[in-house]
Amino acid sequence: MSRAVKMTRLGTREKLEARLAELGLSLPIDDEIEEEGPLSHAFDVGGRSVGNRFAVLPMEGWDASPDGRPTDLVKRRWSRFGESGAKLVWGGEAYAVQPEARANPQQLCANPRSAEDLASLRKTLVLAHKAKGDRTEDLLLGLQLTHSGRFSRPHGELLPRTAFRHSVLDRRVGVEDDRAMLTDDELDGLIGDYVRMAKLTEAAGFDFVDVKACHGYLGHELLSARTRSGSYGGDLEGRSRFLLRTIEAVRSEAPALQIGVRLSVFDRHPFIPGEDRLGVPETSSHQPFGASDDGLGLDLAESHQLVEWLAATGVTLVCTTAGSPYYNPHIQRPAFYPPSDGYRLPEDPLVGVVRQIDATAELTKRHQGIKFVGSAYTYLQEWLPNVAQAIIRAGRADSIGLGRMMLSYPELPRDVLTGRGLERPLVCRTFSDCTTAPRNGLVSGCYPIDPFYKRRPEAERLAEIKKGLV
């Protein structure tokens, strides 16, 4: 590959377009951001008017209490997301449907006080939104429901629950036999856990739930369970059955809620450090969902079929993403600085950005009954508003989803929409500390940019950890 070029070196449209051309890529880019332009336009989701085209994506917090309840750190994050100006908000959080389903021991999860916790978090976000002078009638607030599957780590050590045997991933998480695999009966029971959490979410006043099917977690892994026998594996109908049954059960038991799905619309084989730590695929006989037969390219045929089935069940929102942060992070989350315990970039991050944007555009064009929220925009940095506006103008997505950028610069949507322009010192540079820190037991946050985290004692510890990983 050609050597990756930092986005800060692509400071003019001519330089950016030249780099895209060098990589064989294209992106729509607007010259100027319009105050009353496409990003400010409301759009309809299931009969609800959503006030603008920015969305706060669900992320995985690592700062809840040991029993899965919100701490002051969690509440601070939700408040900042409310202040962002974005009108579509996934609460900014992945909420595990049972304690054993957590990806880390400091993740929000179902507990005896979940009802009051959810109501309190919603209130925190809505009041912060209102305190900025924003209307709340056009705010659409949801919560992501998740089970971490093979990446479950509820007490600090891996406690994998898998969908099928995978030669590469089983080895990575220490699975040696079938005992870690969830049975059909266990999956049936899990549907009830999703329903219980959805009903609590509905009672707390949220507008929708997201049944998570991405990033290698259980809902996503099942979509690749081609070798699994029984009701939840084999052909696409079987591999989709858990997701679709869960959605149908939620619709039946919590009818006031809209339903979204965050979906890894394509995947790749896991990657490992090769020569000079350059990332290379660790191939296996397992064909990932949304991948070509060799597991190295895209094939969205099954993704299109699944989205058709999702629409038929009444799903109103699909947030597109790709791959997994656990085994191919450059596919899932393009960044110039990969997690310090990972591998060197096998491609320029712009390739990953365009790959996700183009996949979202293809789905948006074909499936008119669902609203699509795109991902992978953070790496564009100063160019994010210009590309986002052009994407919305061209109908290549319905909403622009922001993840990591919301940790460093939560008010980016507000600044863009009000014509203030970007505060460059707050722009996320994809240092990946927000991943490296939690992987080493530290609370989640933006340590390089957010002064609040810079001052915390964990910042010094993180610096020492990174030195040891170089």
In the prediction, which pLDDT does 362 show? 98
Q: Is the pLDDT of residue 39 over 80?
A: yes
- Does the pTM surpass 0.95? The reply is yes
Q: Please write the tens of the pLDDT for every residue from 247-257.
A: 999 999 999 99
In the prediction, which pLDDT does 268 show? 97
Burial call 107-128: b when 16+ CB within 10 Å, e when fewer = bbbbbeebeebbbbbbebbbeb
Confidence band for 470, pLDDT divided at 50, 70 and 90 = low
SS3 273: strand
In the prediction, which pLDDT does 35 show? 87
What is the mean pLDDT of the segment spanning 64-73?
Answer: 98
Q: Is the pLDDT of residue 292 over 90?
A: yes
In the prediction, which pLDDT does 3 show? 82
What is the mean pLDDT of the segment spanning 329-348?
Answer: 91
Q: Return the number of other C-beta atoms located less than 10 Å from residue 181's C-beta.
A: 18
Q: Residue ranges of the domains in the chain?
A: 31-428, 431-470
Burial call 38-75: b when 16+ CB within 10 Å, e when fewer = bbbeebebbebebbbbbbbbbbbbbbbeeebbbeebbb
Residue 134: half-sphere exposure toward Cβ, Cα within 13 Å: 28
- Cβ(342)–Cβ(326) below 8 Å: no
SS3 368: coil
What is the mean pLDDT of the segment spanning 174-194?
Answer: 98
The rounded distance, in Å, linking the Cα atoms of 184 and 88 is: 35
What is the mean pLDDT of the segment spanning 431-456?
Answer: 94
Report the number of secondary-structure helices (H) and strands (E) in the chain.
16, 13
Second-level CATH architecture of 31-428: Alpha-Beta Barrel (3.20)
